[in-house]
Amino acid sequence: PENLLLTSKDDDAYIKIGDFGFAKQDLKAGLTTACGTPGYVAPEILKGEAYGKSVDIWSIGVITFILLCGYPPFHDENQKRLFTAIKLGQYKFDAPYWDDVSADAKDFISKMLIVNPNDRHTADQLLEHVWVTGDEVSTVPLTKAMEELKKYNTRRKFKAAVRTVQVTAALTRGLVPPPHGKDAPG
């Protein structure tokens, strides 16, 4: 995803997460503004409920899912069906994409993608998870995940290009008023 940035091209580069346009720090009261990228947004936001820091945990769960298998946990061309799947927490660790991913990694993701925000793990709990603290690090390359991530990004970019063509066509048909400028009347 485009909001994941590497600090360098080195193998041990850090990953930084960007584009937190609505980010707030340590709010006591819950937020209610509906915002976020559709596939990453937490169920409570879609339900119009007040929300807190746990929505970020949900998004990190989505990001971790994508990084380990190459595609998002919630995906549908139809936004209504996508939002329904998110609100119900309907995702699967499908074979063969998850065959080489450890049970601990899957459990780590499952602790973040819990529909009820009160049951969702906190950042402190996740930092104590065995997948984070454990000594056993998998050396199995996630080849399938890389292939799927490339396909996913290609589809996403293609859809953006199609949308650009659609908007351009609408503009040329005069559905959107022209900008004010030297060619504008009066």
pLDDT tens for 107-158 read: 999 999 999 999 999 999 999 999 988 877 665 656 666 676 666 666 666 5
Q: Give the structural domain span for 132.
A: 4-172
pLDDT score of 10: 77
Half-sphere exposure of 116 (CA within 13 A, CB side): 2
Is residue 158 one of the residues assigned to a domain? Answer: yes
pLDDT score of 109: 97
Q: Give the separation between CA 109 and CA 68, rounded to whole angstroms.
A: 10
pLDDT score of 23: 46
Is residue 57 one of the residues assigned to a domain? Answer: yes
Is residue 136 one of the residues assigned to a domain? Answer: yes
Specify the CATH number for the domain of residue 132.
1.10.510.10
Is residue 89 one of the residues assigned to a domain? Answer: yes
* pLDDT(78) > 70: yes
pLDDT tens for 6-50 read: 677 777 767 676 655 444 544 554 544 444 567 889 999 999 998
Strand 4-6 versus strand 15-17 pairing type: antiparallel
Q: Give the separation between CA 116 and CA 113, rounded to whole angstroms.
A: 9
Is residue 185 one of the residues assigned to a domain? Answer: no
Is residue 182 one of the residues assigned to a domain? Answer: no
Mean pLDDT of the chain: 77
Number of domains in the chain: 1
Q: What are phi and psi of 15, to 5 degrees?
A: -100, 130
Half-sphere exposure of 10 (CA within 13 A, CB side): 5
Q: Is the pTM of this model over 0.85?
A: no
pLDDT greater at residue 165 or residue 56: 56
Is residue 44 one of the residues assigned to a domain? Answer: yes
Is residue 111 one of the residues assigned to a domain? Answer: yes
